[in-house]
Structure 1
Amino acid sequence: MKSYSARHICELLKGELVGDTTVAITAPEQIERAKEGQVTFIGNKKYEKLWAGSKASVAVVNNDIAIPPGENRAFIKVSNADLAMSQVLELFAGDPPVFDEDIHPNATVHPTATLGAGVRIGAGCYVGPGVQLGDGVTLYANVTVLDNCTIGKFTTLWPGAVVRENCHIGAGCILHPNATIGADGFGFRPCPERGLAKIPQIGNVILGNAVEIGANSCVDRGKFSSTILGDGCKIDNLVQIGHNSVLGRFCIMAGASGLAGSVTLGDGVIIGGSASIKDHSTIGAGAVIGAGSGVTGDVPAGKTYLGYPALEARTTLKQWATLKRLTEGKV
């Protein structure tokens, strides 16, 4: 069991220790469930009231915390408690699953594939012709990487992930279980002879560096050219990214959201859970799309849009307020 003193954690976070405790810290936990010997955090003053009922020995808190920690308990004051807790979680994180041997005997690796130093490939994996795996790449069990793909250094693919032919994954990426990169884009047209004619999808997918794709999420290949995700994009579980979409750097898409084909996101765009974006729309850099919203056109940079159909948040909130008054008979 890992164990640290409050002072050790404070030094790691470069924070200010208020109070102190002789209790060794063995795990992090949320404030309502924390027990003695655990560290929690208070990321907003409105949660100060929970501290009195918590059994935690230490809390990482924002600098504006106003309450005392109490006897044999301590606060570690930092400028951003949410961010600091990510370091605490790293401190207590367990080791990743173990490989008894670098290349499992039940893996299939084509003789023309190129493997960098320290590559690890688990049971049931398939690595196709012409694939290039950079140094330190890890493929857990039952991963499929098809022909002529490249995967950059220290990228990890968790079980069941699929990278289809001719796609390119950057360095330091994470593909969570059953993520699919490079499936066909959704392209069909009415056809008198066949009902619906399938449009060939002959492009690929390019993921930049440090991209993370959540479990069961799909990034479709381009009809032609590429579907592109810029460096640092973070995609949640159950997200759909349509063919020929282009995401800038450090975009975030929350669970069950989706982009139709040929959507463009500028740098730093945030898409809330279950939001949907119409094809050929452009969302400007730094824009925020609220959860559950339906975007039917372009969104200017830096704006927050909300609702269905999505409008600038202030307009949507006014509409909701007016509707509420109408239903209550106050208008």
Structure 2
Amino acid sequence: MADPQFYVPSRRYTAGEIATLAGAVLADDTLAGNEISSLAAAEDGGAGALVYVEKGRHARLLDTLTAAAVLCPVELVSRVPAGIAALTTSAPALAFADIAGIVCPTAASPQPVTGETGLSPAAHIAADALIEPGAIVEAGAVIGAGAAIGRGTIVAPGAMIGPGCQIGRDGYVGASASIVASLIGDRVIIHAGARIGQDGFRFMPSPRGLKKMPQLGRVVIQDDVEIGANTTIDRGALSDTLIGEGTKIDNLVQLGHNVRIGRHCAIAAHVGVSGSVVIGDFVMLGGRVGIADHLKIGDGVHIAAASGVMHDIPAGQKWAGLPAQPAKDWFREVNMIRKLAGNKARKGNRDV
């Protein structure tokens, strides 16, 4: 039995066509007719494959490359094996991502699981829900009273959209995801099992034990956000939890109540952000970062994986460690400890 291929090109392309679509320059016009039948990593390649190679250690892959075409910087053209079309660009990985979205469109945007093209009779849709023509609601989904779903949005099997929630156009709500007390913009992708808008975690000590503080706020998610599988985003206590435009959140992330995240941030898996944290624009959080409550993280901050943040971080800084501190200070301390232990400092890239 042949291995299944879940995502294949919508059609075959030539190297010349790929160069035009990517805004790249074909180094040798005689190879413009090389046919592209698949996309692959440079390590794997194969006849008919389009791959990409960047400068640095990645460039060594050209020595044994098998492919129809390669996206690469102009400085590497001389190392491309004969017969492989070199498509030169200053950002090969970015160009490859653009091409992958064109060549394999179903991989770039989730599709209906059941092939449904409208409102499934096996979905439960409240009589007063507002669903624009062109939206898709699959079998087993639940749409609550007064909810609104925009044109082109797909609600997958078993997903639940709570009363009064609003979801914009051309979005996706994955299987078994649940959304309550939320306003969601256009082109938002929410993967399977995500939980959005549930109670925040706040209990007040009392002589009789812990008293629950009712959570009266909302979750507001702006346009072009992507939220990974099984991520949880709590609604605000009295104000809103906010996810800014273009932010991308990995699987298994926890965001507490009243958290406010800026635009175009990247948050890797297992990050935990405590309540009322404010995160600026273009911030990057590595996997397993933890941030204590009520802190402020400035624009453009990078925080290394597994760091524990206990203090505000000014804009533009790189922090690492537990407890987190400026990355240069943390690396200096680590090297000192290694020397005390009799170990030599390790060589390599020390960028966060």
Which residue number in structure 1 is paired with residue 42 of structure 2? 31
Which secondary structure does the structure 2 equivalent of 1:64 belong to?
Answer: helix
Which secondary structure does the structure 2 equivalent of 1:279 belong to?
Answer: coil
Letter of the 1:68 counterpart = R
Distance (Å, rounded) in 1 between the aligned partners of 2:64 and 2:78: 13
User: Which deviates further from its counterpart, 59-68 or 234-243?
Assistant: 59-68
Aligned 1:54-69 pairs, distance under 5 A:
54-65=65-76, 67-69=78-80
Aligned 1:177-188 pairs, distance under 5 A:
177-188=192-203
Asked if structure 1 preserves the Cα contact closer than 8 Å seen for 2:116 and 2:138, the reply is no
Give the drift of 1:297: 1.0
| Residue 154 (1) aligns with residue 163 (2) | no
Give the drift of 1:202: 1.6
Asked if structure 2 preserves the Cα contact closer than 8 Å seen for 1:283 and 1:299, the reply is yes
Give the drift of 1:211: 0.9
Which secondary structure does the structure 2 equivalent of 1:67 belong to?
Answer: helix
Aligned 1:136-155 pairs, distance under 5 A:
136-155=152-171
Distance (Å, rounded) in 2 between the aligned partners of 1:329 and 1:211: 44
Distance (Å, rounded) in 2 between the aligned partners of 1:252 and 1:91: 23
| Residue 105 (1) aligns with residue 116 (2) | no
| Residue 18 (1) aligns with residue 11 (2) | no
Which secondary structure does the structure 2 equivalent of 1:183 belong to?
Answer: coil
| Residue 169 (1) aligns with residue 184 (2) | yes
Identical pairs, percent: 32
Distance (Å, rounded) in 2 between the aligned partners of 1:187 and 1:108: 32
Deviations 1:243-274 (A, max 9, x none): 00001111111111110000000111111111
Distance verdict in 2 for CA 1:287–1:318, change over 3 Å: same
Distance (Å, rounded) in 2 between the aligned partners of 1:120 and 1:78: 39
Aligned 1:219-298 pairs, distance under 5 A:
219-298=233-312
Letter of the 2:204 counterpart = R
User: Which deviates further from its counterpart, 133-142 or 30-39?
Assistant: 133-142
User: Which deviates further from its counterpart, 129-138 or 257-266?
Assistant: 129-138
User: Which deviates further from its counterpart, 90-99 or 276-285?
Assistant: 90-99
Report the number of matched residues: 329
Asked if structure 2 preserves the Cα contact closer than 8 Å seen for 1:142 and 1:160, the reply is yes
Asked if structure 2 preserves the Cα contact closer than 8 Å seen for 1:173 and 1:210, the reply is yes
Deviations 1:36-84 (A, max 9, x none): 1101101233212111222222111123325332221111101111110
After superposition, the CA RMSD in angstroms is 1.7
Letter of the 2:19 counterpart = C
Give the drift of 1:281: 0.6
Distance (Å, rounded) in 1 between the aligned partners of 2:176 and 2:343: 55
User: Which ranges of structure 2 fall in alignment gaps of 5 or more residues?
Assistant: 1-8, 345-352
Distance verdict in 2 for CA 1:266–1:94, change over 3 Å: closer
Letter of the 2:236 counterpart = G
Give the drift of 1:100: 3.6
Distance (Å, rounded) in 2 between the aligned partners of 1:266 and 1:70: 45
User: Which deviates further from its counterpart, 255-264 or 19-28?
Assistant: 19-28
Give the drift of 1:329: 7.0
Distance (Å, rounded) in 1 between the aligned partners of 2:54 and 2:198: 40
Letter of the 1:9 counterpart = I
Asked if structure 1 preserves the Cα contact closer than 8 Å seen for 2:34 and 2:85, the reply is no
Which secondary structure does the structure 1 equivalent of 2:241 belong to?
Answer: strand
Distance (Å, rounded) in 2 between the aligned partners of 1:268 and 1:70: 38
Distance (Å, rounded) in 2 between the aligned partners of 1:271 and 1:23: 41
TM-score using structure 2 length = 0.89
TM-score using structure 1 length = 0.95
Letter of the 1:182 counterpart = G
Match of 1:129 among 145, 165, 168: 145
Which residue number in structure 2 is paired with residue 204 of structure 1? 218
| Residue 318 (1) aligns with residue 332 (2) | yes
Asked if structure 2 preserves the Cα contact closer than 8 Å seen for 1:3 and 1:24, the reply is yes
